[in-house]
Amino acid sequence: MNPRNLKTFPKTHLSISVALPLVAFLAFCTQAFAQPESSSPSQPVFRLDGGDTTYAFGVNERGELQQLYWGGRISAQDAVPPAHPEKELASFDSSYNNTPQEYAGWGAGLFQEPALKVTFADGNRDLVLHYVSSTKPDVNSLEITLKDISRAITVTLHYKIDPESGILARSATIENSEPKPVMIEQAAAASFSLPPAHYTLNYLTGRWAGEWTLNRETIQAGERVLESRRGTTGHQANPWFAIGKGDADEEHGETWFGALAWSGSWRIVVEQDQIDKVRITGGFNPFDFGYQLKTGEKLETPVFYAGYSHHGFGGASRLLNHFTVSHILPEGPNPKPRPVIYNSWEATEFAVTEAGQEALAEKAAALGIDRFVMDDGWFGQRKTDHAGLGDWYVNKEKFPNGLKPLIDKVHSLGMDFGLWVEPEMVNPNSDLYRQHPDWVLNFPGRPRTEQRNQLVLNLARQDVRDYVYGFLDKLLSENQIAFLKWDYNRNWSEPGWDQLPPEEQKKVYVQFTRNLYSILAELRAKHPGVEIESCSGGGGRVDLGILHYTDEVWPSDNTDPLDRLTQQDGFTRAYPVQVMMAWVTDSPHWLNGRTTSVTYRMLVSMQGSLGIGGNLNKWSDADLTTTKRLIAAYHQVQKTITQGDLYRLISPTNGSEFSATETVSPDKSQAVFFAFAHSTQEERGFPRLQLLGLDPTAEYSLTSIEGKAIPGTPAQASGSWWMNHGVDLDLHGDFQAAAFRLDRK
């Protein structure tokens, strides 16, 4: 142990370690104090190792916290040299500006994206953060305290590395100890830096019914801003990125990735600076932001998760998705596979009735469905989207005896029951709005812009928060509801909070989301059996923040199977299959009129967490028989599909006429692969599929779930055969699909 390094860690942690058994204590010492020789009391170097990754940063001669290394894991013996600031570039870019700081205050001539920007009570806006101290709460965590060079603003940076994946969780707590309030104008969770190189940025964009478009572009000088100003996560961009170095591709090369755990307005800036370094800064969106901190108050940022893989973009998504299942989801690390659901929305829209729902429930149960979900239309005066939101009592015309008869019927059919709600919204045509017109986001005296005939309740208000929690608690207490589909069908406008003094009103951007999370947490604690889906007109609220409180998400209102192939390709880059609900709906499809077979539709959805969302009253007997058979086959391999390692063998993006995915169980005992051809031409065969991720020495048997391999394909062969020789499929025509399983002998 290098005694000089003890100063880096406070005495409290030494005394904790005394209580540890000797072996654990020695392990702790090795990890916690194995600082390189170069680490000195005035310029400590900090290092976190996990999985295949090392992250290191240190204090430079000026006292700034500077990133030193983020990449493949380096030997524990390697000393990371201490930090030295970058030099000034001519007279235009100061050393402060050029130095890759871990959390830069806006001051001292900073032109890069700041992590923190404040205005003090006297108008001073200069903030320069210097290192003060550090603690090491446990072997995988660090807490670093920074303080402004003269003012009493402190920032505690939180670091935690996951020992398995090497994924780092970073966030910041900003505290004002000045005698007067301070206005926070910009607060990031973290900044990450990469050295000069040729990089490709991947990010996801979209719109309603068109989410999850993967964009790929070379990182060039300047900023690429990924953001939502909408008060919520948004369909238009998702708070996730992946960056590949050089010619990194799906399975090869160095990649860095990150995702922000926040369901309010957010921003991630990827910038290449004037000395070709790349900096990624993410946190609250500074647009219209302003969070006043009174003396003694603190602001906590969301968590920005980030990691590294040397197995390309596929490796990056596998790492992140396993991490999400293990460490983010409320039921992690071993959430049960999602029940196969039936949802009534596309069958009935608002025209729900007791008899109609029961008829659908009977048909669903006959297919082997696990959960029946009644969607919009069951409450208040909800006959169209013009009325009823906010009035969460059962509509007596549609359900004269309440929900109990329907729920009992669903249970008697062997399914559990789920219900749609949209708690944060109100129709002006509702009892709630007539009683509490002041409860919505609004600027007094200004128009209240409606979207889908609804307004947004100001969930930041305590009375609104209590009302929303109260009606949901009552609903769950009085009915046997196993699942809530929690919808959110518009974004913000006129985001005023006129209960508060003007200088505090913009806190709505933080408090709304915090109250949403607290309602979800409290509901889950009180009703532990209840599962929740995050839906926002499709995939408008999918992020690692909401996924901490919800079990699944609805990726898109677009259920067209061909469109879903590309959406699922994009979605799974950032989020696990476990949470990706995928319904099979009617053909021709309502959105674009495309006609596809039920087999094709089923196989597309079986790549996710399966559901059926069509009007079963209209399905042919043949289609119902096929669906039942495939649901049974899905149940047998669902855990592999939803919690295994996903390989995108052929991506459907860029107009590819073919696509294929493969998922391998973590113990490599099973693999399931799917293949799709949307229009083969000139008798061209399906590309040979060389599988990935199998145990090369094990023997695997091949079983068709649907479709055929070409004659002569062995019924059993080694993992190395399937990975090197591969499989040729007999797949021709329009919208054709096949699926197979490999089981280790």
Using the minimum distance from each CB to ligand DGJ, give the nearer residue, 314 or 614: 614
Using the minimum distance from each CB to ligand DGJ, give the nearer residue, 162 or 557: 557
Using the minimum distance from each CB to ligand DGJ, give the nearer residue, 509 or 554: 554
620-627, long-range: CB within 8 Å, 24+ apart, which pairs?
Answer: 623/598, 624/363, 624/366, 624/367, 626/598, 626/599, 626/602, 627/367, 627/584, 627/598, 627/602
Confirm whether 49 is a catalytic residue: no
Q: For residue 672, what are its two tokens?
A: 């399931």
Minimum distance from CB of 739 to ligand DGJ (Å)? 26
Minimum distance from CB of 346 to ligand DGJ (Å)? 8
Residue with nearest beta carbon to ligand DGJ: 376
Using the minimum distance from each CB to ligand DGJ, give the nearer residue, 376 or 706: 376
DSSP 78: P
Using the minimum distance from each CB to ligand DGJ, give the nearer residue, 96 or 420: 420
User: What amino acid occupies position 602?
Assistant: M
21 three-state secondary structure:
coil
Minimum distance from CB of 432 to ligand DGJ (Å)? 17
Alpha-carbon distances of 210 from 161, 536, 568, 742, rounded to whole Å: 34, 13, 11, 33
Say which of 162, 375, 487, 560 is annotated catalytic: 487
CA distance linking residue 382 with residue 385, whole number of Å: 7
Say which of 273, 557, 560, 645 is annotated catalytic: 557
Minimum distance from CB of 145 to ligand DGJ (Å)? 44
Minimum distance from CB of 491 to ligand DGJ (Å)? 13
Confirm whether 557 is a catalytic residue: yes
Minimum distance from CB of 704 to ligand DGJ (Å)? 33
Sequence-separated (6 or more) residues with CB below 8 Å from residue 620: none
314 three-state secondary structure:
helix
DSSP 376: S
CA distance linking residue 119 with residue 148, whole number of Å: 13
Name the site residues for ligand DGJ (rule: CB under 6 A).
Answer: 345, 375-376, 420, 487, 489, 535, 537-538, 554, 557
Using the minimum distance from each CB to ligand DGJ, give the nearer residue, 557 or 563: 557
Q: For residue 418, what are its two tokens?
A: 């789920």
In b/e form, how buried is each residue of 206-235, taking b as 16+ CB within 10 angstroms? bebbbbbbbeeeebeeeebebbbbbbbbbb
- CA-based nearest residue to 627, from 586, 592, 572: 586
Using the minimum distance from each CB to ligand DGJ, give the nearer residue, 168 or 484: 484
Which neighbouring-strand residues pair with 318? Answer: none
Minimum distance from CB of 208 to ligand DGJ (Å)? 9
User: What amino acid occupies position 34?
Assistant: A
Distance from the first to the final alpha carbon of the chain: 49
Using the minimum distance from each CB to ligand DGJ, give the nearer residue, 455 or 510: 455
Minimum distance from CB of 421 to ligand DGJ (Å)? 10
676: exposed, middle or buried (Cβ count in 10 Å: 0-12, 13-18, 19+): buried
Which neighbouring-strand residues pair with 619? Answer: none
CA distance linking residue 588 with residue 736, whole number of Å: 16
- CA-based nearest residue to 564, from 541, 526, 534, 596: 596
Catalytic residue numbers, as ranges:
487, 557
